[in-house]
Structures are given as structure tokens and as C-alpha cells.
Amino acid sequence: MRLGVIGFGIMGERLTRAALAHESGEVSLAGVWDPSDAAMARLSGDLPAAHAAADPENLIADSDCIYIASPPETHLEHARAALAAGKAVFCEKPLAVDLKDAAAFAREVEAARIAVNFVFASSPAVAQLRTWIAGGAVGPVESLEIEMGFAVWPRPWQHDAVSWLSKRHQGGFTREVASHFLFLTRRLLGAMVLDSASTTYPEGDGSETELHGLLTAGGIPVRISGAVGQTEESDMNRWTLKGKNGSVRLCDWSRAQRLTDAGNWEEAPDAMPLEKARPLILKGQLDKLAALTAGGPASDFPLASVQEALEVQQIVEALLSA
């Protein structure tokens, strides 16, 4: 699979580096394009082995699959162009800024080779949670809680994207972070229905600073909360599943834990911080993407579908409009 990358922000750079480092021979980098001269200069300076494409049209022509890591309002423009050229597509979330356009797109691409980048599709920690759940560690599920906290928003490493990530139109932690945990919820528990929510915004056009919501997933009650400025941690998150037999949780993106009989949270023996888990996650995403591009069979835990992404986005936007 020759991968073309549109957008050289944080996520574009991460997958570009992962493609360059991929060792199986099944993935190579066709090139990278970003409309920003500064981004392209950074590409040439930091990753001279990566081809800097002249424009998105040439990049699409030279690629088997296009990864779209540009700001959300441009996602569908690039996705439609790549699909029209017969290429596979790997799109960042959310699908679009306009929910109606996202829904129309989902109908357009039912048979297309396309997936959306929700990282928990290839997470070793999620694989461990699934093993525990299958082994009866949770038993009949009773509830789920999703908690998020940020010292500031955007997070310090997202400075280059502050122009849109900090704004109500495209940004905010609910779209950027909560969506991943809602995807995991949808994948493991079932269809989601929002019951109630409250969201706090600052003056002006800034993104949300606090969020509380109640929903169900597959009929299971789910509580979700998030806040900016109420913790000193740059990025705190917990996804806690409770059942009749016990509880398991995912902490800080990459640590699988389960509750012992003594009431303590015990970490999986091979748990690792996100910095060590991220290369494994990116390689897993690329391996699954290469199989999708080649038209091969899906894995037992495939990349996120457009329909799943649409359902997540519908819940996200309902939370934000509460």
C-alpha cells in the first residue's frame, strides 16, 4: 500500500513517521501534502525521506490510499476526491463539521474502501480489556463511566492546531478526545442514545470547558464527564466498565486495569505508557489499513467504519448542543 498523507499536523506527522518506519514491506509512503508552507518546510527539514507532493491531485494519483489528517471542515472534500479516483481512504474524525453532509457521505460510501481513525481499534490495552471481558471478569454489564480532564485546552502539544482546536466550530475536547471513548463504547456495548447533557462554554467562540452527559449504549447506562482547568494533568481519562462479577477500566489511553477482590486496581502485566504504546497502535492501524486497501478480509476487531464514525459524531454533536 502506497500511502498519501493530506495534512502534516500532529496526526499527519505521526502516521507519516509510522509509514516510513514500517518494516513489513506492505506499507510505503507515497508522499505528503499540506496547504501550509510552514508545514511543508517542517516536513522537508524533519523528514527528508518523505516526498513533498506539489498538490493533493498528484498525491492522490500516486497513492493507493489517502490518509486525511487536515482540519475537519476539509475532510469530505479530500475523501470524495480520493474515492472518485478509485483510492482507499483513511479519514480522521469527525467526518465533517456539518452532520447532514456526514450522513449523506455515509450513504454514498457504503461499499467503498474507507475507514476512520479511532485508535482503540488497534490498542493493545483494549485487546486486554476484551480478553478480560470474554473471560468473565465483568459478567453482565451494569454501567459505564467515561471521565476526562485537561489542565488546559488544547493540550500543550497541540499548539500548532490551536486556531481551530480551541474554537467551537471544529474543536473542543468532546470531538477530539471523547469521540475515541464513545467509539469504544459503541463497539463493545452497542448503539448509543443520549438521554441528557449539559455543556459549559466560555464567552466568545471558544470550545467547551465542561461537559456532563447521560446516555445508554446497548441499553447499558453510561455517564460521561469532562472539564478543562480542574486538574493539573495535561490529559487524564478513564473508561470504567462495571458488572456483576467485577470491573475493568482503560486509563490514560493505554493502561488496562481490573478491580481485584481486595478493592484495588491491578494493572495488566504488559501495560505501558502511551509513548510506548503509540508505535504499536499506529503499526496496527497501518496493517489493518493495508488489508482494507487490498480488499482483504476484515480482522476480528476492524478499523472504525464510516457508519460507526457517524453514530459517534451524532452523539458528540448532541452533547455539544445541549
Residue where a domain terminates, one of 62, 78, 112: 112
Residues 143 and 254 in one domain: yes
Structural domain includes residue 6? yes
Look at the chain and report how many structural domains it folds into: 2
Structural domain includes residue 278? no
Averaged pLDDT, 204-212: 98
Residues 137 and 250 in one domain: yes
Residues 9 and 88 in one domain: yes
pTM: 0.97
DSSP code of 62? H
What is the structure's pLDDT at 25?
85
Residue where a domain terminates, one of 112, 147, 177: 112
Residue where a domain terminates, one of 95, 112, 129: 112
Instruction: Mark 82-98 as b/e (b = at least 16 C-beta within 10 Å).
Output: bbeeebbbbbbbbbbbe
For residues 48 and 168, give the distance between their C-alpha atoms in angstroms, rounded to a whole number: 36
Residues 76 and 157 in one domain: no
Sheet holding 220-228, edge to edge: 192-200, 210-217, 220-228, 141-150, 236-243, 247-251, 255-259, 265-267
Q: What percent of the chain has pLDDT over 90?
A: 96
Residues 199 and 232 in one domain: yes
Structural domain includes residue 10? yes
Residues 163 and 89 in one domain: no
Residue 23 scores a pLDDT above 90: no
> What is the chain's mean pLDDT, rounded?
97
**Is the distance from CB of 65 to CB of 2 less than 8 angstroms?**
yes
For residues 219 and 212, give the distance between their C-alpha atoms in angstroms, rounded to a whole number: 19
Q: What percent of the chain has pLDDT over 70?
A: 100
Residues 240 and 266 in one domain: yes
Residue 111 scores a pLDDT above 90: no
What is the structure's pLDDT at 298?
81
Question: What CATH number did the domain enclosing 62 receive?
Answer: 3.40.50.720
Structural domain includes residue 18? yes
Among 234, 175, 161, 178, which Cα is nearest to 207's? 175
Q: What is the pLDDT of residues 136-148, one digit of tens each?
A: 999 999 999 999 9
Residue 24 scores a pLDDT above 90: no
Residue with cell 447533557: 197
Averaged pLDDT, 91-118: 95
Residue 321 scores a pLDDT above 90: yes
Structural domain of residue 6, as residue ranges?
2-112
Q: What is the pLDDT of residues 158-197, one digit of tens each?
A: 988 999 999 999 999 999 999 999 999 999 999 999 999 9
Residues 84 and 174 in one domain: no
Residues 163 and 223 in one domain: yes
Residues 138 and 159 in one domain: yes
Question: What CATH number did the domain enclosing 261 receive?
Answer: 3.30.360.10
Structural domain includes residue 191? yes
Q: What is the pLDDT of residues 243-289, one digit of tens each?
A: 999 999 999 999 999 999 999 999 999 999 999 999 999 999 999 99
